Amino acid sequence: MEEDKKMTRRQVVTGLGATLAAAAVSPVLAGTKTTNHTSMEAKISDPTTLHPKPPFRSQPQPWPGLQSKMDPVPDCGETSYKGSGRLQGRKALITGGDSGMGRAAAIAYAREGADVAINYYPSEEQDAQEVIALIKKEGRKAITIPGDLRSEDFCKSLVQKAIAGLGGLDIIVNNAGRQQSINSIVDVTTEEFDSTMKTNIYAPFWIIREALPHLPPGSAIIGTTSEQAYDPSPDLYAYAQTKAATMNYVKSLAKQLGPKGIRVNGVAPGPVWTALQISGGAQPEKQQMFGSWTMLGRPGQPAELASIYVQLAAADASFASGQVYGSSGGVGQP
């Protein structure tokens, strides 16, 4: 009976202590919850008015073009992308990292905690240095490796320089592309066809083959394909073929490398405002009205695809492989 009383008193004391502790903590928790809710509140935006709409002025540039000279200048997330540590400690190589989707991916990766090496054509140095400054501002390693992807020897050295500069490699983004709008196949020269194939198909092959022995399980390979892989335009005869090939190598390599723990995925943009368009990638009249045919009445901006490249590289997408993620304003596939 005495023991029962002791137990009852012990239970009362314990219960009282728990109640007092809860009372002391709950106001703090309640305040924290309210504060977090307020600070985390997302701002909603109308996508039809979020970015510039055509018509755009005619602004041809020689290939490969500089986005810093475009009007409007493409938005690659320079001021808008906010990171959250999703790629902390990762090491990425991005081709075409000076502009467009490659630039958007490079900025996002750095803000997510990754060290980044970018490749670009030597004449794009001005745009590339802007990217390097943004990467370094995040306290991450920034490696520049300019050169011509149409050279097998350069592609091999590109990988080795990236590994040496970054101290390893676990993300590859094959983004650089050549796109030239030519109305008739009879006007496509062998030299032009060869340049497109080597830039868009051969280079990823050379890069992946060279890098593969160095990629640990958990690595990610991402290819930039296009809606052109599914719905090719008549004036992009050569380019569209390469994007279909990119989609295919993504699915093939995913099957081959999955057992090794390496994921392979692709991003398929629709009409996105990049230097491709003003450096021969679109006929003048199409360039001026570029993206007007989408459901949003405008082209996409590279910044609007940055989070896709992050998602496909991040560890929490560990079950995504052999996938192609589309972003086309409601008109393209997949």
Active-site positions? 239
Structure tokens at 181: 């709008």
Q: DSSP character for 204?
A: H
Give the span between the Cα atoms of 206 and 195, in whole angstroms. Answer: 15
CA dist., res. 72 & res. 61, Å (int): 14
Any residues with CB less than 8 A from the CB of 88 and at least 6 apart, and which?
112, 113, 114
| Distance from C-alpha of 296 to C-alpha of 62, rounded to nearest angstrom | 29
Cα–Cα distance measured from residue 177 to residue 238, given in angstroms and rounded to the nearest whole number: 12
Helix (H) or strand (E) holding 324, with range, is: strand 324-327
Nearest to 275 by CA among 246, 302, 239: 302
